[in-house]
Amino acid sequence: MKNYKLIVQYDGTNYSGWQIQKNSKSIQQKITEAIEVLLKDKINLIGSGRTDSGVHALGQAANFRTETEIDIYRFKHSLNSILPSDIVVSAMEEVGLEFHARFDAKKRTYLYLITQTKSPFYKNYSYFYPRKIDLEKLTFLSNSFLGEKDFTSFSKKNDEIENKDCTVYKTIWRKRGEVILFSIQASRYLHGMVRTIVGTLLNAQDQPEPERFIKEIFNSQNREEAFESVPAKGLFLYKVEY
């Protein structure tokens, strides 16, 4: 038995997300089908985590096990030749049989892109936000999310996961040309968590007591107290660390 790890990039615009779902097109489904065509055998493709509908990835990690000995260079080339053009396997390697893309992940980093200039080249990959953005204030307020906390107020109400504690290691706001970029690194994420954090931070900068405002949202443990999520199209799974 062999175990192979993949690093995958994808444009999530036309997909229902990573996870296979009935009656919808997913990233996991497309990659699984392509691998099974090449191997002529069924496989179980395990991702490091689910990305929602419309969310993109620069460094999604996944693994699958097979009895087949694979020539990695040729297999990756063949795989990319039959995958849709909006999904690419950027790296592939053999790993130990014990490796599990989801359970072994230690840190995951997401990026969120905001633009304040309308452009047809940004529309599928960023959130157009024409209002004022105070990067210094947002950087300061983001410190409220650092450490291990209960993120119930920042996850979707129908999230069935009982443990809502997540550890956020790092948050960064920066501007690069016309793009404002938010980066967050955490141990794990709840459903819709990053987009709700960004939406809440953008609105918090206009509050008279923004720190207290965020603290009260955490304490409420109620999703309705946080602000509306920003659109999925600006979100990228950037990197998974093991």
Give the active site residues.
Answer: 52
| Helix H or strand E segment including 136 | helix 135-142
Q: How many C-beta neighbours within 10 Å does residue 17 have?
A: 19
Whether 153 and 226 have beta carbons less than 8 Å apart is answered as yes
Q: Which two tokens stand for residue 239?
A: 């990197």
Q: State phi, psi for 155 to the nearest 5 degrees.
A: -120, 155
Location of structure tokens 């105070």: 134
Q: How many C-beta neighbours within 10 Å does residue 33 have?
A: 13
* Long-range CB contact pairs, 71-79, < 8 A, 24+: 72/4, 75/38, 78/38, 79/31, 79/34, 79/35, 79/38
Q: Which two tokens stand for residue 205?
A: 């900068």
Q: Which two tokens stand for residue 28?
A: 């996991």
Q: Give the integer Cα–Cα distance in Å for 114 and 129.
A: 7
Whether 148 and 166 have beta carbons less than 8 Å apart is answered as yes
* Nearest CA-CA partner of 2 in 92, 105, 106: 92
Q: How many C-beta neighbours within 10 Å does residue 119 have?
A: 10
